[in-house]
Amino acid sequence: MAPQRPRIVVTRRIAEPAMAILRAAGDVWSPEPDRALPADDLHKAAAGADAVVSTLQDDIDGTFADAAGPGLKVVSTVAVGYDNIDVAALSSRGIVVTNTPGVLTDATADLAFGLLLNVTRRLGEGERLLRSGTPWSFQLDFMLGAGLGGKTLGIVGLGQIGTAMARRARAFGMTVSYTARRRAAPELETELGATYLALPELLTSSDVVSLHCPLTPETRHLIDTGALAAMKPSAYLINTTRGPVVDEAALATALSSGVIAGAGLDVFENEPEVHPGLLGLDNVALAPHLGSATVETRTAMAELAARNAVAVLAGDEPLTPVRG
């Protein structure tokens, strides 16, 4: 009798080359039409799965693992962030967790820098003005923004994306400081010309604070009313990591009352909701979680996730495991 093919559940539509990798390794199921599955449906879909390829929208915890059953060997998320996964609960059941670091670094840093340029040069505001049909004419003091050259970028979390953001900032003539759980290697500090600071000093001295730390219990609401008040009134906040790192209500208040100058946000506390206090403000640039959203990057992420799942099913080491 031929050995049974593994059952692979793919929770959201992913790029075709990745689907081909998975189909070669097992019987693939994914929801038709593509949609985020509510917890009950997700649990039902996962029942009997050997591998689950998931996204950041899926709550993957012990209850999920129990619903999937004892055959589940790997949860492979198509994301670098894995705050939606209870890694300890899965590891204790012998389930391998993998993510997709590296392949989305440049795309995410590009988007973060794009948001920074957007808000400091008032691009969204200018576009809204034109689309509204408001009369305007060139004037030497019309819609002046803030330049970046000579300013200081304070990076919170100098991982791969934070480092890529620092390199972009250097190319724009900015000075870089950073805070992180661990100090970077001296060679990297030298390459980036980056100064290590504790968070309070980074907040008070930076012209731009850009968040690149993962969401953990320690970083939830890291940027709250107090942190915002510590920033310069002329400073900008950029968030492309996870929404809950920022207290969004506090940010809306700070932006509307001039506590800081502006913000660029790609992620939100209660996605897909955006705090209503932000929507009417001109000094915030908003994007709908597009950090890694290029064709090339999303394809690379999906392929890496597929290869991780297939490696575990074959009894091999995955390429990019999450260490529990």
**What amino acid positions are annotated as catalytic residues?**
242, 271, 289
Q: Which two tokens stand for residue 41?
A: 């449906």
Q: How far apart are CA 300 and CA 100, in angstroms?
A: 9
Residue 194: CB atoms within 10 Å: 24
- What is the full DSSP assignment across 226-283? HHHHHS-TT-EEEE-S-GGGB-HHHHHHHHHTTSSSEEEES--TTTT---HHHHT-TT
In the complex, the smallest distance separating the C-beta of residue 279 from ligand DGY, rounded to whole angstroms, is 21
Residue window 240-259: x/- pattern of binding to ligand DGY, with contact defined by CB under 6 A: --------------------
Do strands 96-98 and 74-77 pair parallel, antiparallel, or not at all (unpaired)?
A: parallel
- Asked if 81 is part of the footprint of ligand DGY (rule: CB under 6 A), the reply reads yes
Q: How far apart are CA 239 and CA 291, in angstroms?
A: 10
**Can you tell me which of 10, 46, 80, 230 binds ligand DGY, judged by CB under 6 A?**
80
Q: In the range 101-130, which residues lie near ligand DGY by CB under 6 A? A: 104
- Asked if 161 is part of the footprint of ligand DGY (rule: CB under 6 A), the reply reads no
Q: How far apart are CA 148 and CA 162, in angstroms?
A: 17
Encoded amino acid at 42, one letter? L
- Asked if 211 is part of the footprint of ligand DGY (rule: CB under 6 A), the reply reads no
Residue 244: CB atoms within 10 Å: 18
In the complex, the smallest distance separating the C-beta of residue 301 from ligand DGY, rounded to whole angstroms, is 7
- Asked if 79 is part of the footprint of ligand DGY (rule: CB under 6 A), the reply reads yes
- Asked if 157 is part of the footprint of ligand DGY (rule: CB under 6 A), the reply reads no
In the complex, the smallest distance separating the C-beta of residue 72 from ligand DGY, rounded to whole angstroms, is 22
In the complex, the smallest distance separating the C-beta of residue 78 from ligand DGY, rounded to whole angstroms, is 7
Q: In the range 292-311, which residues lie near ligand DGY by CB under 6 A? A: 292
Contact set with ligand DGY (CB under 6 A): 56, 79-81, 104, 291-292
